[in-house]
Structure 1
Amino acid sequence: MDLPFSDKTALVVGASSGIGLAVACSLQQAGARIRGVGRHAVAGMDMTLLNLDEKESCEKVLEMAAGCDILVVVRGPFFQETLDHTPSGMWESLVYANLVFPGQLVSAALPGMCRKEWGRILLFGGTRTDRVRGFRTNAAYAAAKTGLSSLILSTAQGYASRGITCNGICPGFVDSGAYTTEKRRSLEQKSPLSKLVDEGEIVSAAEFLLKNPSINGTIVRVDQGWSPSFI
């Protein structure tokens, strides 16, 4: 059995459900020791239960990041509203959760990875936030997630010579069981393939990015080629 991460510790933030849980299970099957962070316990997995809407909880996760070999950050709250209906407090919380906190985790993990001359970082953006674009109804969220692209490229360029890779995934509408029947039907109608993205497709992309040392600074869209023209 191929266990490429048998001697590695992986910190997966957002590991208790959905994409985060699926990626954590994949890493565990590849031999990694999982340290998951989420809201719910998961059988057979070392989970730290925290509410990451609280800054004190985020500080605890930063301490955990210092010793990891693999860092995966899946969590990132979504907010859909026009700019004139986005309050200042929402701006602060969105930018912190979707950009500042992932950046802090990367900064916390890098010194240990540099000492080991090995590290893997995988960050999750939002739909079509792989580069600068305009968004009419979720501008604040998209601005924060787009900032991750710069973080990914900067980390890759700055630490490639230390055996560290940093890549990203921008998922489309994923079949994670989180949607109501009505919302699911609406999203399927907007999708190029008339169906949601399968979680397994996200996991396959994550495995590809994490296992290949020569894949660095790459942001993969797993969204069926979705664009607003499909609405």
Structure 2
Amino acid sequence: MKIDLSGKTALVTGSTLGIGFASAKGLAEAGAAVVVNGRSQDTVDAAAARLKEAVPGASVQGTAADLGTAEGCEALVAAVPACDILVNNTGIFGPQDFFETPDSEWTRFFEVNVLSGVRLARAYLPGMAERGWGRVVFVSSESGLNIPADMIHYGFTKTAALSIARGLAKRMAGTGVTVNSVLPGPTLSEGVAAMLKEEQARTGQTLEETARAFVMANRPSSIIQRAATTEEVASMIVYAASAQASATTGAALRVDGGVVDTIA
């Protein structure tokens, strides 16, 4: 199967590192013109340069905007008035006990992880429907189904993303626009690598070995028994953005390594 996204513009939020950057790279390799987004212009410029180097000849635009605010979302839409593919990837995570998590932190996670996707979908979906083709992918998480006891404030935002994507898919019925969620499991992104750095130094193991031990300790139901790579997750996102995925909408597409113990 050859995915060809020539002539399409893809906006990937939070794409300077991790799953976002891998998705931008995969979409560029499929021929899409890609918009890279992050909070600071320096990191956006660096990511755009890295992407152009990785995919020679790719059309890459970098736009800095803090999508944790309505103003940031408005600024991004002003800079990028239309797109054919929207990957709502931007997000934050971090463990914190429920009884020590203040309202302000719940609100911050909701603004970044949920409302950013809501605001951008509201801005871009009408244009997609008018053109008769579009793809929206919300990057959720297996934590949206398997709520972590130490990150309840995070897990609930990923459950919200599933609900929004499913509802939007119904709302866009018959328009040629699909809306799906992708649910990564433990993934060896730069953020996770930083989180494991101290443990890696303590044990003297490789990063991959440290990540495998972390997965088996914290997600023992994993069937692949390791962390996924960002490229493995990005492959599902690129597929969901493709013409070949035209009959896939309203779906929760799991790239969780089998962590969620269900056949449905």
Q: TM-score, normalised by structure 2?
A: 0.78
Aligned sequence identity (%)? 28
Residue 99 of structure 1 is matched in structure 2 by 114
| 2-structure distance, mates of 1:188, 1:209 | 26
Alignment of 1:24-35 (within 5 A): 24-35=24-35
Matched, 1:159 2:186: no
Following superposition, the deviation at residue 187 of structure 1 comes to 1.8
- 1:75-124 CA-partner distances (Å, limit 9, x unpaired): 11113222211101101111111111111111111111111011100110
Residue 147 of structure 1 is matched in structure 2 by 160
| 1-structure distance, mates of 2:2, 2:226 | 32
| 1-structure distance, mates of 2:99, 2:33 | 45
- The answer to whether the 8 Å contact 1:65/1:105 transfers is no
Matched residue of 1:197: which SS? coil
RMSD, aligned α-carbons: 2.2
Count of residues paired in the alignment: 226
Following superposition, the deviation at residue 213 of structure 1 comes to 0.5
Could you say which structure has the higher helix fraction?
A: 2
Q: TM-score, normalised by structure 1?
A: 0.88
| 1-structure distance, mates of 2:160, 2:233 | 21
Following superposition, the deviation at residue 32 of structure 1 comes to 1.0
**Worse overlay, 65-74 or 116-125:** 65-74
Matched, 1:196 2:227: yes
Specify the code of the residue in structure 1 equivalent to 2:177.
Answer: I
Residue 126 of structure 1 is matched in structure 2 by 141
Structure 2 gap segments, 5+ residues each: 53-59, 201-206
| 2-structure distance, mates of 1:55, 1:159 | 23
- 1:51-89 CA-partner distances (Å, limit 9, x unpaired): 445553232123356411110111111132222111011
Residue 184 of structure 2 is matched in structure 1 by 171
Matched residue of 1:148: which SS? helix
Residue 22 of structure 1 is matched in structure 2 by 22
